[in-house]
């Protein structure tokens, strides 16, 4: 596995002259969506790869110990075992990339994953006043520490959109740097909330600033904005990742989140990563998909591949 991104000193000159060719971005996005399809056994293989990159998520106000336990069981056994046996993949220990919950549910996840033999599955916690970030910095940092103390190995933080919208990039950097320090050994995914940043130029600059501050991943959205993960935004972000890698030698991960629900969508996101960043970024340590319902459709497609028909709702366990 590549060395973790340590970040670097803030460099305002890196942000000067950033200009996004929006028509070109849109053309590239359209070409990806129009031409990239996979079928039959190749589709099944891609979908299993997508499963290993899912952050299986529940971020609801009515989360309980029971639904967290169900989530963790589904993370350990994401596809029905008889289907996995039919495609001779039942012994490969395919799990989701992580489970993602609020900080208050991290301890529940630790217990639930231990119970099902999934202690190796990472636990991600949203923190820092998710989804708005509109709480004092001291409180945001303490929330990170509490989640890590309870067993989270990944922290999804949100940036200060007010700073980004006003062009205070040093302010964004300083806060994210402090959050990285609070994470300790836990990996930090930095949520840009791209639907609230106002322009693609701001998306690119926010991506670079967060990577300078030590982000292990940059993530599109909280899933709570009006506009979440889109292919044009993703292209801007992954090209910032590519520029950062070429300049520093450190690989930073990418996580789209919000509105990704179909198996076809999952294949499109995999194709984007493969074509823009290369095969190495198709691994869970560099690519995640934030989703709560995507896994259901992937399992439905695997069921169809095995049986030749689509499953009725009662034939597939829900996450």
Which structural domains are found in the chain, ordered by start?
A: 20-312 (3.20.20.70)
How many Cβ atoms from other residues are within 10 Å of residue 9's Cβ?
A: 7
| Contact status, residue 59 vs residue 104, Cβ threshold 8 Å | no
What is the pLDDT confidence band of residue 2, given thresholds at 50, 70 and 90? confident
What is the pLDDT confidence band of residue 318, given thresholds at 50, 70 and 90? low
Helix (H) or strand (E) holding 20, with range, is none
Residue 35 confidence (pLDDT): 66
Q: Which residues pair with 291 in a beta bridge?
A: 56
The angle subtended at Cα 294 by Cα 30 and Cα 197, nearest 5°, is: 55
Rounded to 10 deg, the angle between the 106-115 and 65-76 helix axes is: 50
Beta strand 123-126 pairing with 187-191 = unpaired
Q: What ranges in 36-131 are assigned the alpha helix state H?
A: 40-51, 65-76, 81-86, 106-115
| Contact status, residue 239 vs residue 275, Cβ threshold 8 Å | no
Residue 1 confidence (pLDDT): 67
| Contact status, residue 194 vs residue 221, Cβ threshold 8 Å | yes
Collapse the DSSP code of 98 into the 3-class scheme (helix H, G, I; strand E, B; otherwise coil) and give the result.
strand
What is the set of active-site residues? 219, 255
Mean pLDDT, the chain, rounded, equals 95
What is the pLDDT confidence band of residue 167, given thresholds at 50, 70 and 90? very high
What is the arithmetic mean of pLDDT over 163-169? 97
Task: Please indicate whether residue 290 or residue 38 has the higher confidence score (pLDDT).
Answer: 290
Residue 115 confidence (pLDDT): 97
Residue 227 confidence (pLDDT): 84
Does residue 319 surpass a pLDDT of 60? Answer: no
Residue 86 confidence (pLDDT): 96
| Contact status, residue 276 vs residue 56, Cβ threshold 8 Å | no
Helix (H) or strand (E) holding 316, with range, is none
Could you report the per-residue pLDDT of 66-97, keeping only the tens digit for each? 999 999 999 999 999 999 999 999 999 999 99
Does residue 240 surpass a pLDDT of 70? Answer: yes
Does residue 224 surpass a pLDDT of 70? Answer: yes
Roughly how many angstroms between the first and final C-alpha of the chain, as a whole number? Answer: 30
Does residue 170 surpass a pLDDT of 90? Answer: yes
Does residue 124 surpass a pLDDT of 60? Answer: yes
How many Cβ atoms from other residues are within 10 Å of residue 195's Cβ?
A: 20
Residue 136 confidence (pLDDT): 97
For the entire predicted model, the pTM comes to 0.96
Task: Please indicate whether residue 200 or residue 314 has the higher confidence score (pLDDT).
Answer: 200
Does residue 30 surpass a pLDDT of 70? Answer: yes
Could you report the per-residue pLDDT of 262-285, keeping only the tens digit for each? 999 999 999 999 999 999 999 999
Does residue 226 surpass a pLDDT of 90? Answer: no
């Amino acid at each position: 596995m590549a060395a973790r991104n340590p970040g670097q000193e803030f460099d305002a000159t890196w942000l000067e002259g950033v200009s996004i060719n929006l028509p070109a971005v849109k053309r590239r996005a359209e070409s990806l969506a129009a031409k990239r399809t996979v079928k039959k056994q190749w589709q099944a293989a891609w979908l299993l790869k997508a499963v290993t990159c899912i952050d299986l998520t529940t971020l609801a106000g009515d989360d309980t110990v029971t639904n967290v336990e169900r989530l963790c069981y589904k993370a350990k056994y994401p596809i029905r075992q008889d289907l996995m046996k039919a495609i001779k993949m039942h012994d490969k220990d395919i799990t989701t990339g992580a489970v993602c919950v609020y900080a208050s549910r991290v301890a529940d996840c630790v217990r639930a994953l231990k119970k099902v033999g999934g202690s190796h599955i990472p636990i991600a916690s949203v923190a820092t006043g998710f989804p708005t970030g509109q709480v004092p910095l001291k409180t945001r940092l303490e929330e990170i520490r509490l989640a890590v103390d309870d067993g989270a190995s990944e922290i999804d933080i949100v940036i200060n959109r007010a700073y980004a919208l006003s062009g205070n990039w040093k302010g964004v950097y300083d806060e994210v740097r402090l959050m990285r320090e609070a994470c300790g050994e836990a990996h930090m995914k930095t949520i840009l909330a791209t639907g609230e940043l106002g322009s693609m130029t701001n998306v690119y600059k926010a991506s670079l600033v967060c990577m300078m501050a030590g982000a292990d991943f940059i993530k599109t959205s909280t899933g709570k904005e009006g506009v979440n993960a889109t292919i044009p935004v993703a292209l801007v972000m992954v090209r910032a990742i590519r520029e950062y890698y070429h300049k520093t030698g450190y690989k930073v991960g990418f996580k789209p989140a919000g509105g990704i629900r179909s198996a076809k969508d999952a294949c499109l996101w995999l194709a984007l990563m493969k074509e823009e960043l290369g095969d190495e970024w198709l691994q869970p340590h560099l690519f995640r998909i934030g989703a709560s319902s995507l896994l259901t459709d992937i399992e439905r497609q695997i069921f169809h591949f095995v049986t030749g028909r689509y499953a009725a709702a009662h034939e597939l366990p829900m996450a």
